[in-house]
Amino acid sequence: MTVTEPLVVHVVPMRRRHLRSVLRIEALVYPRPWSQSLFLSELALRGSRAYFVARIGRDVVGYAGLMLTGEDGHVTTIAVDPAQHRRKVGTRLLLVLAREALARRARNLTLEVRLSNHGAQDLYRRFGFVPVGVRKNYYQETNEDALVMWAHDIDTPDYAAMLSALERAVPGETRYEERRR
């Protein structure tokens, strides 16, 4: 019988050294991937952006980003290496984005997701996101519409309890590295 080690995922602030791995995943999951220069420009906006990567061992297996404007946090991107799907990497990344938004005094979260991406929509619904509209042809490379979703009042005890319950349900261990302010 083989004993498998429990899964340990490290979620750390994205740094320049992670970009080669991030761009590899970006090319796997998006028809029109972001460029290195776009990621670098986002990383430079430390006051209004926060980007994180998820690592298993030394391998980057996912990443996510957040833009803050006033009381709103906007999930700019979230992606997981297809070989790592179903290991709750996306859940871990969304947890860190929600907590970062709260640390920066956001009251709401928003995002756009492809209408065809039901798996991602299910994840977002678990985090309290609800559909509020559709952006026609948002994804120009495929002429696909985006579903706009919002999670309101994330700064309440009920939302904190929901985040804690989601975190408890994640198998294995997640180790978070604090972001340098």
**Do the Cβ atoms of 26 and 43 come closer than 8 Å?**
no
Structure tokens at 157: 């005890």
Q: If you ran DSSP here, which 8-state letter would residue 81 be given?
A: -
| Distances in whole angstroms, Cα of residue 150 to Cα of each of 74, 147, 153, 166, 173 | 9, 10, 10, 18, 28
**Do the Cβ atoms of 90 and 78 come closer than 8 Å?**
yes
Q: Among the options 124, 141, 159, 178, which is catalytic?
A: 124
Q: How far is the first Cα of the chain from the last one, in angstroms, to the nearest whole number?
A: 47
Q: Is 5 designated active site?
A: no
Q: Among the options 112, 159, 167, 173, which is catalytic?
A: 112
Q: Is 124 designated active site?
A: yes
Task: Supply φ then ψ for residue 178, to 5 degrees.
Answer: -65, 145
**Do the Cβ atoms of 154 and 109 come closer than 8 Å?**
yes
Amino acid, res. 138: Y
Environment class of 150 (CB within 10 Å of its CB; exposed 0-12, middle 13-18, buried 19+): middle
Enumerate the active-site residues: 112, 124
